[in-house]
């Protein structure tokens, strides 16, 4: 064989080897790709199976709920020999969903024979119903827990309970277990429905009780509720969250999304309207995804239509809405309704697309803007509010200013603004965060300046107009002693008689500032 032929032969061998390596590499890539696809398919199947399982399992049976009524009777009997009724102090932190949970806790306590007090030192049972969304709220709870050592020392029989979202976090329950021995009962949102049983265990066994197991969550219909003022009411239409925004702990402590049966919701709202309630807010972590787990085919828009058909003089509000699930159909339903308030709380969180992606919000600035534009085209009088986070991990000054520019572009009536607060256990808490607190404060101040200027201008535009408002209570202003809300939920302080509380009245707006409107009844 010639030298040339030998070299060519070796080159062919190397070429075949390269082809072999390339083919093997391609095969590995294909296998990995297929593996990834199969894993995703398996995950989807698992989620679907969990949804079906959840629908069967999360509905607490009538027998289980009746068992709780038996524990309520036992506790009531335990205090029957006392001259005075036992007292409970329920202190709720956080969102409206927590308020609704607190009202159910109070309902169960009332059934047990408890009255209510705002003073922990006068209470036989003290309950801190907590929020886990921000560090500040958590710090307040631990401060209050520490202060309760004094009431416990004065009354060793006092039962102290920690419940709500904070309690569901393992790091919190462990901290309470080790460092707050005076706390008798700790339970998360998943165990709320069996509060009577847990409280009875504390009394019967004379030992601490912790019920914070990781569950998918439940739906319990028929829990008694104590609503305070007879004017406004909160109605939970669903529980949990599937969104997993990278900064938010809620999906981890409240479980997966689960919707109440639409007829149960409609019946509860009908009962409230018949009882004279005028302002009813439908609650969910993301009301726009209501019904996704139901076999009924009733989505949130359809639920609003069913509720709107209830006769009466009342307003329906809802929160919170997630932009990724907000639809033109929803806005069309609002526009054609009789009772749904022309008010939309639609959190956008950031005006920068990169930050939105890091937040796992699953929409863009342009998509958000389009939603608002469409909603306003259908409801020109629509009042729009939103939530905003400044200083998300990795956010730059330029990106923060994109948020400020969106605020100016949209022209919100009001904002709920926050500097980012890391929540242990979330993805964002592990992200690099090079911006200093001072820098974030500067960005935050720019945001507030932009919004306050616009809010003041919007409110000034109301002067001279007469608005139909719901009088909801007393004001903290001596000159304008009554408080009311417009259909758009703007605060109005005005002069009038206390007999107007609970009624819709026409108020002529005579003055305003950044935060409120001022007026007088249009007699």
What DSSP line would sit under 433-460, residue for residue? --S-HHHHHHHHHHHHHHHHHHHHHHHH
State residue 58's pLDDT score.
78
DSSP letters for 324-349:
TT--HHHHHHHHH-SSB-SEEE---B
CA-to-CA distance for 518 and 499, rounded, in angstroms? 19
Q: According to the 3-state scheme, what is the secondary structure of 59-118?
A: ECCHHHHHHHHHHHHHHHHHCCCCCCCCEEEEEECCCHHHHHHHHHHHHHHHHCCCEECC
pTM summary value: 0.87
In this structure, the answer to whether residues 377 and 499 fall within a common structural domain is no
Q: Cis peptide leading into 520, omega within 30 of 0?
A: no
CA-to-CA distance for 151 and 280, rounded, in angstroms? 36
In this structure, the answer to whether residues 365 and 349 fall within a common structural domain is yes
In this structure, the answer to whether residues 288 and 363 fall within a common structural domain is yes
CA-to-CA distance for 470 and 486, rounded, in angstroms? 7
DSSP letters for 381-416:
T-EEEEEEEES-TT--HHHHHHHHHHHHHHT-SEEE
State residue 79's pLDDT score.
93
For the chain, what is the mean pLDDT?
Answer: 90
pLDDT tens digits, one per residue of 100-156: 999 999 999 999 999 999 999 999 999 999 998 888 888 999 999 999 999 999 999
pLDDT tens digits, one per residue of 499-515: 999 999 999 999 999 99
State residue 22's pLDDT score.
57
State residue 76's pLDDT score.
96
Q: Is 224 within the bounds of a domain? A: no
End residue of a domain, out of 211, 244, 259 = 211
In this structure, the answer to whether residues 514 and 445 fall within a common structural domain is no
For residue 432, how far is the Cα from the chain centroid? 27
Q: Is 21 within the bounds of a domain? A: no
Q: Is 2 within the bounds of a domain? A: no
Q: Is 426 within the bounds of a domain? A: yes
State residue 47's pLDDT score.
41
Per-residue buried b or exposed e for 199-217, using 16+ beta carbons within 10 Å of the residue's own CB: bbbbbeeeebbbbbeeeeb
CA-to-CA distance for 514 and 510, rounded, in angstroms? 14
Paired sense of beta strands 491-495 and 482-486, if any: antiparallel
CA-to-CA distance for 4 and 234, rounded, in angstroms? 89
159 DSSP β-pair partners: 125
State residue 205's pLDDT score.
92
In this structure, the answer to whether residues 255 and 366 fall within a common structural domain is yes
State residue 213's pLDDT score.
85
Find the CATH number of the domain harbouring 296.
3.80.30.20
**Tokens found for residue 339:** 């009772």
388 DSSP β-pair partners: 349, 417
pLDDT tens digits, one per residue of 56-88: 677 999 999 999 999 999 999 999 988 889 999
In this structure, the answer to whether residues 324 and 382 fall within a common structural domain is yes
HSE at residue 358, side-chain half, CA atoms within 13 A, is 20
Q: Residue 153 sits in which domain range?
A: 62-211
SS3 for 280? strand
Nearest to 164 by CA among 222, 64, 91, 77: 91
Q: Is 5 within the bounds of a domain? A: no
In this structure, the answer to whether residues 410 and 304 fall within a common structural domain is yes
Question: Which of 43-52, 161-170, 246-255, 447-456 comes out lowest in average pLDDT?
Answer: 43-52
CA-to-CA distance for 35 and 41, rounded, in angstroms? 10
| pLDDT surpasses 90 at 229 | no
Q: Is 382 within the bounds of a domain? A: yes
Nearest to 447 by CA among 412, 414, 401: 401
State residue 27's pLDDT score.
56
Please report which confidence band the pLDDT of residue 285 belongs to, taking 50, 70 and 90 as the band edges: very high
In this structure, the answer to whether residues 318 and 405 fall within a common structural domain is yes
In this structure, the answer to whether residues 164 and 288 fall within a common structural domain is no
Q: How far separated are the first and last CA of the chain, in Å rounded?
A: 116
State residue 38's pLDDT score.
46
End residue of a domain, out of 426, 455, 484 = 455
| pLDDT surpasses 60 at 46 | no
Report how many domains make up the chain. 4
Please report which confidence band the pLDDT of residue 276 belongs to, taking 50, 70 and 90 as the band edges: very high
Q: Contact, 127 vs 152, CB < 8 A? A: no
End residue of a domain, out of 455, 485, 500 = 455
In this structure, the answer to whether residues 410 and 513 fall within a common structural domain is no
DSSP letters for 147-162:
HHHHHHHH-TT-EEEE
Nearest 5 degrees, angle CA 311-CA 101-CA 94?
Answer: 110
Q: Contact, 279 vs 231, CB < 8 A? A: yes
In this structure, the answer to whether residues 323 and 436 fall within a common structural domain is yes
In this structure, the answer to whether residues 282 and 395 fall within a common structural domain is yes
Please report which confidence band the pLDDT of residue 358 belongs to, taking 50, 70 and 90 as the band edges: very high
Q: Is 219 within the bounds of a domain? A: no
Q: Is 9 within the bounds of a domain? A: no
């Amino acid at each position: 064989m010639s030298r040339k032929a030998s070299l060519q032969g070796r080159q062919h061998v190397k070429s075949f080897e390269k082809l072999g390596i390339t083919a093997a590499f391609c095969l590995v890539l294909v296998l990995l790709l297929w593996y990834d696809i199969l894993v995703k398919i398996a995950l989807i199947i698992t989620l679907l199976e969990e949804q079906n399982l959840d629908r069967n399992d999360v509905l607490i049976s009538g027998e289980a709920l009746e068992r709780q009524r038996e524990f309520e009777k036992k506790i009531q009997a335990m205090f029957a020999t006392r001259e005075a009724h036992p007292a409970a102090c329920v202190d709720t932190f956080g969102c409206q969903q927590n308020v609704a949970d607190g009202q159910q806790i109070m309902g169960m306590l009332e059934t047990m024979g408890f009255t209510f007090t705002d003073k922990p030192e006068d209470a036989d049972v003290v309950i801190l119903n907590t929020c886990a969304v921000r560090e500040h709220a958590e710090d307040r709870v631990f401060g209050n827990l520490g202060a309760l050592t004094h009431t416990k020392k004065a009354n060793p029989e006092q039962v102290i309970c920690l419940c709500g979202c904070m309690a569901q976090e393992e790091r919190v329950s462990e901290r309470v277990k080790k460092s707050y021995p005076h706390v008798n009962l700790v339970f998360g949102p998943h165990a709320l429905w069996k509060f009577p049983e847990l409280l009875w265990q504390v009394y019967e066994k004379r030992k601490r009780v912790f019920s914070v197991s990781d569950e998918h969550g439940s739906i319990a219909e028929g829990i008694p509720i104590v609503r305070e003022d007879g004017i406004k009411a909160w109605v939970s239409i669903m529980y949990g969250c599937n969104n997993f925004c990278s900064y938010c702990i809620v999906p981890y402590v409240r479980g997966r999304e689960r919707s109440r049966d639409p007829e149960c919701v409609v019946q509860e709202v009908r009962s409230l309207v018949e009882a004279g309630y005028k302002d009813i807010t439908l609650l969910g972590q993301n009301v726009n995804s209501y019904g996704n787990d139901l076999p009924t085919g009733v989505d949130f828009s359809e639920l609003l239509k069913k509720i709107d058909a209830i006769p009466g003089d009342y307003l329906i509000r809802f929160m919170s809405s997630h932009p990724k699930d907000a639809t033109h159909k929803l806005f069309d339903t609002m526009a054609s309704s009789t009772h749904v308030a022309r008010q939309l709380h639609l959190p956008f969180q950031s005006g920068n697309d990169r930050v939105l992606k890091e937040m796992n919000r699953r929409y863009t600035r342009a998509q958000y803007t389009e939603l608002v534009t469409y909603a306003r085209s259908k409801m020109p009088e629509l009042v729009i509010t939103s939530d905003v986070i400044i200083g998300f991990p990795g956010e730059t000054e330029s990106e923060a200013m994109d948020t400020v520019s969106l605020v100016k572009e949209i022209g919100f009536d009001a904002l709920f603004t926050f500097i980012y607060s890391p929540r242990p256990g979330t993805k964002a808490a592990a992200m690099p965060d090079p911006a200093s607190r001072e820098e974030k404060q500067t960005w935050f101040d720019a945001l507030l300046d932009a919004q306050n200027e616009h809010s003041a201008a919007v409110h000034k535009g109301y002067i001279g107009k007469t608005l139909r408002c719901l009088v909801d209570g007393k004001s903290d202003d001596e000159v304008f002693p009554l408080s009311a809300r417009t259909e758009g939920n703007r605060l109005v302080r005005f002069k009038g008689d206390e007999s107007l509380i609970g009624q819709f009245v026409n108020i002529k707006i005579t003055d305003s500032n950044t935060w409120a409107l001022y007026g007088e009844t249009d007699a």
